[in-house]
Chain A
Amino acid sequence: MKNYILFVLLTVIPFTALFAQDEEEKVKDRPVRAPFASGYLIDNQTTMIPIKGTLEFAIQHKFGTIENGMSDFFGIYAPAANIRLALNYVPFKNFQTGIGLSKEKMNTDLNAKWTILEQTRENTIPVAVALYGVVAIDGRNESAFGTGQVWHSGEGRAVFNMNFADRLSYFSQLIIGRKFGNALSLQTGVSFTHYNMVERNFDHDKIGVHFNGRVNFSPQSSFIFNYDAPLNIQQISEQLQVPDHHQPNVSFGIEIATSTHAFQIYMGNAKGIIPQDIMMWNSNKFNFDNLAFGFTITRLWNF
């Protein structure tokens, strides 16, 4: 734990010094041009939020894993697909809110993103900072949860009936991003995931770190990647030993952006699409067999 605190401090302190230095500058410094082409970056969010009044429709799809090769054409025909349809709207400058439906666990998610700081051209603000939060409702039939009876942590062996709150899960994330020149934009983040109800050998809470970015190789195309690592921290674990079934999510792909669309096609080892699902339930180790194809399409309308 001490190491983590040290890591966070070492990351933050140099930036605070930069802020202090530049506060005296009076010339109006404008935000950098398009650090990212879209608010989505495979499984993550970017600090980019479109102009106020924008409505975004997103289609996210993940096929089955490629392990069966030609028999299901590398997962394209596999039944284990996941899809999410979402609408996002920007009611205020740099604040976006949205709703999405995904097939996995019949999740309905409500989310919000606030870009608190935008990186500026003269480095008055050297990084972009955003907060992202998601609340999801597991909408499956009660029969999907076994007997419908739950134990409450810390309340012994007493049995309770499952209720609505047991279906809720939360994800909150702090994202810090920086555009390094015209070709490279990187982001890092830290997140907290909480599930109101988990299986007995899981923890309710998970802290994770995120690292993702894009490398622009033509005016419209970029290479994009994600790395999301759930951390095994014994101090917050409810188990005697931190369960090792949380696997990092690694995904990489290509993004093509046009005036109103962004297309991302990628491969990754997590089946989940919403972030808490990825941070809590991804048990696919990163290896060739566990990779699956996926794509994201977004469409923007301005009002």
Chain B
Amino acid sequence: MKKGKIKFLTYPLVVLFAGMLLAAFVSPTESTNMPENWDIPAKYKEMKNPHAGDASLDRVGKMLFAKHCKSCHGNIGLGDGPKAASMTAKMMPFNDPKFQAQTDGEIYYQSIIGMEEMPNFEKKILEEEDRWAVVNFLRSLK
């Protein structure tokens, strides 16, 4: 390859590399998915948990959490599961008082309906009872 040709390639590459480096600084940094980021419809906010404190659902909640939630949210819901590193949003730990201060209906919406990276689970957890079992389990992680 001629010398001139190498120069011809070098400058655009340097500019591209520098551009990428700068872009890394100006791109939005990860944001923690705090409760205030969620736009939860009033219908869900006011939902009452018909299974609050139902100990017979403890195991169901635990099993569903292990199957559907653990890979991102981690073993005890700290947001440190194996898939967490590849996410843009930083997950709020479930033991965070801000998370626990929400109503059961709000947690239901966040867990089952979802938003952006948090998937919708309506077709994976079909029964209302099971969905509330997950909410109950999240409550136990404080």
Contacts and interface: CB of A to CB of B under 8 A. Distances in A.
A218 B67 CA distance: 11
Interface string B123-135: 1101100100000
A33 B67 CA distance: 13
A258 B65 CA distance: 10
B123 A33 contact: no
Contacts of A218: 66
Interface stretch (B11-19, B22-30, B56-64, B101-109): B56-64
B130 A259 contact: no
B95 interface: no
B99 to A, nearest CB: 21
A302 B60 contact: no
A259 B71 contact: yes
Interface in A95-121: none
Contact of B124 (A53, A182, A219, A302): A302
A220 B124 CA distance: 15
A186 interface: no
Contacts of A182: 59
A85 interface: no
Contacts of B142: none
Given A33-B130, A53-B123, A219 B67 contact: yes
B48 interface: no
B67 A257 contact: yes
A258 B123 contact: no
Contacts of B68: 258-259
A30 interface: yes
A215 interface: no
B59 A51 contact: no
For chain A, give the interface size range. Answer: 10 to 19
A259 B123 contact: no
Interface in B88-142: 123-124, 126-127, 130
A259 B67 contact: yes
B63 A258 contact: no
A33 B134 CA distance: 14
27 contacts: A30-B127, A33-B60, A33-B130, A51-B123, A51-B126, A53-B123, A54-B123, A182-B59, A218-B66, A219-B62, A219-B63, A219-B66, A219-B67, A220-B66, A220-B67, A220-B70, A257-B67, A258-B67, A258-B68, A258-B71, A259-B67, A259-B68, A259-B71, A259-B124, A260-B124, A302-B123, A302-B124
Interface of B: 59-60, 62-63, 66-68, 70-71, 123-124, 126-127, 130
Interface of A: 30, 33, 51, 53-54, 182, 218-220, 257-260, 302
Given A54-B123, A258-B67, 5 more contacts: A33-B130, A257-B67, A259-B67, A260-B124, A302-B123
